[in-house]
Structure 1
Amino acid sequence: MKPNRRRIILYVAGILAAVVVPVAGAFLLAFLGPAPYLLNEDGLGPEWSSPRQYPDGSTVSVTAFPSSAAAVHEAESISQSLPTSSTSQTMNVVRYTRADDQRRGLLLPVDRRLVQVEAADDRAVDERLRALPFIRENPEKNLMWLLFTDHTGVALSGLGLYILGLGVFMARGASWAAEIAPAARTPPVAVDTLRSRILALNDLDLPFHVREESNRLVAEWRIADARWVGLMEAGGLRDVHRIYMELDPDGHGVRSLDERRTVSWSAGIARLGGSFSFFRGISFFEYSRGVMMGVFFRDGRWTMKAYDYRFVLSEMKAPLVQAIVGSGWRFTPVVTLSRSLSRVLG
């Protein structure tokens, strides 16, 4: 019993598109759009052949290169070689803070030239840049340049909202893609009947058991059972899984959340650690082993054939999923069982 492969493909494609399309679009807008500054060669006299220093302490140097690509490469090299405490880059323009004297700097490739400005602070840097006779702002504005220079707060807020929306989409989409529906025309049994069928797994000689906890069912490895501890330690059990199942009688669905903790062994005694993954409970490829061999739910009862357990999540989850969907109920992995959060995350 496996999730719908088409849903998984659509989900993965949707995630890739949601990440790749905006990033590629931003790069295209940034690097194929108008340059933020233009160079006026007539303003470059012989006085700019060496660095210049001004009374306010600011300095300006202009270096010529064979190509614009060479100027961009040199800007990156200088930013990496300077002793800096912070560096930021918008498109090809680099701003930095020197670690030695805390002066602020700007590396601006324009055409085949590289302009470097240093001053006491950003305001002095910008004023010196505007006063240069050979540099002027491009009247054709680049959208990405405007967003990350003049409207940085708006850009960062939009990026944060998009990341939040993407997280919600990933959570809800993962539940949708990993959901397993019962076969067509399989009538759903009553909730008490399903609960009894799942609890009936405890009557089999399995390395996990199912217990009731409040209004949920919890499946977990028998790490305190002398019958299984030795086999688990010898079999290399390193992750102890616990599966929480919440039964929804109105929608005939079971919401499932996986919890994983690390385990170490000492003389047959398990010592639990902790581990957390955002997409715990969302697993696409761990339901096949154990369904066609080992544990079967057929004609309203369990049967079993002996075989070597691997003590992995699929060994526990497969018979649970089979009991749920075989009873006409949907199995839906989720990232949270919280009622309030589930309205958003699914």
Structure 2
Amino acid sequence: MRFLSLFIALILAIVLPIGAAIYVGTAGPGPYLLVDGGPSQEWLAPRDVGQGQAVAHRHASQAEARDASDRQLEALDTSSYSSVQSVTRYRLRAGGVGLLLPVEGWLVHVVAPDRAALDEQVAALPFLQANPDPNPVAWALDRHPGAVALGILAYALLLGCFMFRGAAWAGTVKPDPGTPVLDAAQLRARLLEVNGLDVPLQVSQTEKGRYVLTWVLDHARWARPGGMTFVSKVKRVELAFDEAHKVVRVVETTMLRDKDKGVTGLSARISLFRGVTIAETSHQASIGLTYQPSLGWTVQPAHEFRYRDSELKGPFIQCVTGSGWSWRPVITFWRPLGG
């Protein structure tokens, strides 16, 4: 239930800001307004304004003006352009910048040598004025794109931190109420008892006082027609003991190595996963084709592998919680991110 709540919260944290920005950006007021009845006849042909030129064309509707703006942009040899609320700013490969502005059924086209001159020319047009109540999204994207990018990056980092800490919260397993609490030395001793059992698992201690559980999940080599295949899968779970809060913080790492050697050459693959595992089940089977005179063609499993994450970690979670401690999977042991 906790993981479902975390998933819903993350979806809302992504969808709501994006949806609100799109709604305000598209439904809000335009950046410019026509005054004095719009452009006069003299603006239907290009006119010099400041260091550049401006021209206006009348269309039957605002939608047609936007379509005309798109066609005009496609006809230009631009190196870059940006469009906010159908207002397009572009840069020409040959030098110079321009503005395509659909407003109230008119398409206003302004060109200038640079951005500063372009803004001055637009401000000098007698039939156009900036909207006194501008669209906040369009204004921010047009005037402060760098600040908007930094804001998006900061929010993404904040969201990532929330996701990592939320995963630790959602994956925490607490002991039952009334469970006797053992000290760290007793819990460590319980974990080390596994080394005396005949299982493909080892419990070791690091220099930092953490314990490492290492499972060899799959380690096999088999021959096939024309070659040899080697597969190794190792799961490593590192435990850090928080004695003050009686919490075992857990970082999981899984490494898969796959090597195939045959008549066509050698291929190898290595994959590494580090994070919080909610649930994992694997079933892999490699099939071999053989021929025997008495049986004919037969297909037999050359190698089969099954793995369920809960079967491996479950006993250790029970050991930890049965000792009165909480089991908390984390992305990293660094507390600001891992929790």
| TM-score class, shorter | 0.7 to 0.9
Encode CA deviations 1:138-187: one digit per residue, 9 max, x unaligned: 12232223333445555444444333322222221121112122233322
Task: Kindly state the Cα deviation for residue 235 of structure 1 after the two structures are TM-superposed.
Answer: 11
**Counterpart in 2 of 1:24?**
19
Length, aligned pairs only: 310
**Counterpart in 1 of 2:8?**
13
CA distance in 2, matches of 1:46, 1:239: 77
**Counterpart in 2 of 1:67?**
61
Task: Kindly state the Cα deviation for residue 246 of structure 1 after the two structures are TM-superposed.
Answer: 0.7
Determine whether 1:110 maps to 2:103. yes
Q: Are the structure 2 counterparts of residues 344 and 228 from structure 1 closer, same or farther at C-alpha, using a change threshold of 3 Å?
A: closer
- The answer (yes or no) to whether the contact 2:229–2:260 under 8 Å persists in 1 is no
Q: Are the structure 2 counterparts of residues 236 and 108 from structure 1 closer, same or farther at C-alpha, using a change threshold of 3 Å?
A: farther
Q: Are the structure 2 counterparts of residues 313 and 121 from structure 1 closer, same or farther at C-alpha, using a change threshold of 3 Å?
A: farther
**Counterpart in 2 of 1:164?**
157
How does 1:137-156 map onto structure 2 within 5 Å? 137-152=130-145, 154-156=147-149
Equivalent residue for 1:89, pick from 61, 83, 87: 83
Judge which range, 191-200 or 105-114, deviates more.
Answer: 191-200
- The answer (yes or no) to whether the contact 1:58–1:117 under 8 Å persists in 2 is yes
The structure whose residues are more often strand, as a share, is 2
**Counterpart in 1 of 2:236?**
242
Determine whether 1:319 maps to 2:312. no
CA distance in 2, matches of 1:68, 1:48: 18
Q: Are the structure 2 counterparts of residues 244 and 146 from structure 1 closer, same or farther at C-alpha, using a change threshold of 3 Å?
A: same
**Counterpart in 2 of 1:35?**
30
Q: SS in structure 2 opposite 1:222?
A: strand
Amino acid aligned to 1:71: A
CA distance in 2, matches of 1:309, 1:318: 20
Q: Are the structure 2 counterparts of residues 259 and 67 from structure 1 closer, same or farther at C-alpha, using a change threshold of 3 Å?
A: farther
TM-score by length of 2: 0.76
Amino acid aligned to 2:65: A
- The answer (yes or no) to whether the contact 1:107–1:114 under 8 Å persists in 2 is yes
CA distance in 1, matches of 2:147, 2:169: 32
Structure 1, unmatched stretches of 5+, are 290-307
**Counterpart in 1 of 2:287?**
none
Equivalent residue for 1:189, pick from 182, 186, 190: 182
Q: Are the structure 2 counterparts of residues 55 and 186 from structure 1 closer, same or farther at C-alpha, using a change threshold of 3 Å?
A: closer
CA distance in 2, matches of 1:235, 1:330: 41
TM-score by length of 1: 0.75
RMSD of aligned alpha carbons: 3.6
| Greater RCO, CA 8 A, separation 6+ | 1
Q: SS in structure 1 opposite 2:193?
A: helix
- The answer (yes or no) to whether the contact 1:208–1:316 under 8 Å persists in 2 is no
Aligned identity (percent) is: 32
Determine whether 1:98 maps to 2:92. yes
How does 1:114-125 map onto structure 2 within 5 Å? 114-125=107-118
CA distance in 2, matches of 1:81, 1:201: 73
